[in-house]
Amino acid sequence: MDIAIDPELKAACPALALGVIRASVSNSRVNADLWKEIEGLTEATRGKLAIEGIAELPEVRALRKTYRALGKDPSRFRGSQDSLLRRILKGQPLYQVNTVVDINNLISIESAHSLGTYDIDRVKGAIVFRAGRPGESYKGIGRDVIGVGEIPVFVDEQGPFGSPTSDSERTKVTEDTKTILMVIFSFSGPERLPALIERAAGLLVKHAGADAGALQTTIVSESDQAASGG
């Protein structure tokens, strides 16, 4: 798992850390047991959190602070966890995408961290997490072209492909995906990441056919002075 944090992004957010899982999976359209757990989680979330309280969550606050430091208005480019929680608290149903993506969303709601999950076979070369440059963009999943200038973004040798806000069509996870890279974005430090990695890995084993013995996990928290990202 060749993943580096660009030093300029690390300077903008010294607490930044990434919890990373690489796993082979057997994905499916829907998993009834998983979806039942998600439905219970959404009801519990509605019972303990108000929309006004989302901005006060430490994980959301840290992400927004980083976006501002990079020059992006976080009220216009929300983290994916912010958007998920808002959808739940507005009483809107969550999208049922596929088992792996649904696990991604469950962990995001539980932890209040943004997550991204990518089809690793669609990623080319080393990965750098850096600030998006002016004019950079990609086709979003189910969306038009998304400008990613001035937000944290994953970049491989083909260009940007994922961010804490929204991911690209190029590397999206489908039912045909065989190997995934799941990333927990923490802008508030690495302390919670070991437990969250364990929780996500357990769900992948239980619901998505991942082999517990073959899972690869790591926490990336130091900047790589050699990172450039193209």
Q: For residue 148, tell me if it sits in a domain.
A: yes
Contacts of 171 (CB under 8 A, 6+ apart): 118, 119, 122, 123, 161, 162
pLDDT at 142: 82
Q: For residue 226, tell me if it sits in a domain.
A: no
- Section 104-111 average pLDDT: 98
pLDDT digits (tens, 9 = 90+) for 172-230: 999 999 999 999 999 999 999 999 999 999 999 999 999 999 999 999 998 776 565 56
Q: For residue 227, tell me if it sits in a domain.
A: no
Return the ∠ at Cα 114 (arms to 110 and 120), rounded to 5°: 110
Q: For residue 120, tell me if it sits in a domain.
A: yes
Q: What percent of the chain has pLDDT over 90?
A: 91
Confidence of residue 1 (pLDDT cuts 50, 70, 90): low
Q: For residue 229, tell me if it sits in a domain.
A: no
Average pLDDT, the chain: 95
CATH number at residue 145: 3.50.40.10
32 within 8 A of 207, measured Cβ to Cβ: no
Whole-angstrom distance, CA of residue 37 vs CA of residue 55: 25
pLDDT digits (tens, 9 = 90+) for 119-137: 999 999 999 999 999 999 9
Q: For residue 230, tell me if it sits in a domain.
A: no
pLDDT digits (tens, 9 = 90+) for 208-224: 999 999 999 999 998 77
pLDDT at 228: 54
Q: For residue 98, tell me if it sits in a domain.
A: yes
Which ranges constitute the DSSP H helices of 90-224? 99-111, 193-208
- Section 96-110 average pLDDT: 97
Sign of the C-alpha dihedral computed for residues 194, 48, 187 and 170 taken in this order:
positive
Number of domains in the chain: 1
Q: What percent of the chain has pLDDT over 70?
A: 97
* Per-residue tokens: 90: 């507005």
pLDDT at 230: 60
pLDDT at 53: 97
Residue 27 has pLDDT above 60, yes or no: yes
Q: What is the pTM of this model?
A: 0.95
Count CB-CB contacts under 10 A for residue 137. 16
pLDDT at 222: 87
Count CB-CB contacts under 10 A for residue 173. 25
Which domain, by its residues, includes 178? 3-220
123 within 8 A of 171, measured Cβ to Cβ: yes
Q: For residue 201, tell me if it sits in a domain.
A: yes
Strands (E), the chain: 3-5, 17-24, 114-119, 127-131, 137-139, 145-147, 152-156, 159-162, 179-186, 216-220
